[in-house]
Amino acid sequence: MRLGAAAPSSAQTSTRLLMWTLLVIYVFNFLDRQIVNILAHEISRDLGLSDTQIGLMTGLAFAVFYTFLGIPIARYADRPRTNRARLITLSLGIWSLMSAACGLAQNFVQLLAARIGVGVGEAGCTPAAHSIITDAVPREKRASAIAFYGLGIPIGSLIGMAVGGALSDVIGWRRTFLAVSIPGLLFAFVLPFLLKDPARHAAAPEAQTAPQPFLQALREIAATPGFVLLLLGASFTAFLSYGKGVWVTILFQRDFGLSAAETGFWLGISGGISSMAGTWLGGYLADRHGQTDRQHMLTAPALGMVIAAPILFAAYYVDDWRTAIILLMLPGVLNYLYYGPCYALAQQMVQPGQRAVATSLVVFGQNLIGLGLGPLFFGMLSDALRPMAGAESVRWVLYGAAWLGIIPALFFWRAAKRLAATPAPSA
**Taking each helix axis from N to C terminus, what angle separates 2-47 and 152-194, rounded to the nearest 10 degrees?**
120
Residue 125 has pLDDT above 80, yes or no: yes
Kindly tell me the burial class for residue 415, based on how many C-beta atoms sit within 10 Å of its own C-beta (0-12, 13-18, 19 or more): buried
Extract the runs of DSSP E, i.e. beta strands, from 103-196. none
pLDDT value for 272? 87
Contacts for 18 with CB less than 8 Å, ≥ 6 apart: 132, 133, 136, 195, 196, 198
Q: Provide mean pLDDT across the span 34-57.
A: 83
Q: Is residue 93 part of a domain?
A: yes
Q: Is residue 196 part of a domain?
A: no
Q: Is residue 9 part of a domain?
A: no
Q: Is residue 50 part of a domain?
A: yes
Contacts for 210 with CB less than 8 Å, ≥ 6 apart: none
**Residue 156 contacts residue 165 (beta carbons within 8 Å):** no
Contacts for 262 with CB less than 8 Å, ≥ 6 apart: 165, 252
Q: How far is CA 253 from the centre of its chain?
A: 24
pLDDT value for 335? 92
- Enclosing H/E stretch for 179: helix 152-194
Number of folded domains that form the chain: 1
Q: Is residue 10 part of a domain?
A: no
| Band of residue 8 on the pLDDT scale cut at 50, 70, 90 | low
CATH of the domain at 266: 1.20.1250.20
Torsion sign across C-alpha atoms 252, 253, 257, 261: positive
CA distance 270 to 306: 21
pTM of the model: 0.73
Q: Is residue 201 part of a domain?
A: no
Q: Is residue 202 part of a domain?
A: no
Range of lowest pLDDT (7-21, 41-55, 274-288, 310-324): 7-21
Q: Domain containing 19: what range?
A: 15-190+213-421
Q: Is residue 179 part of a domain?
A: yes
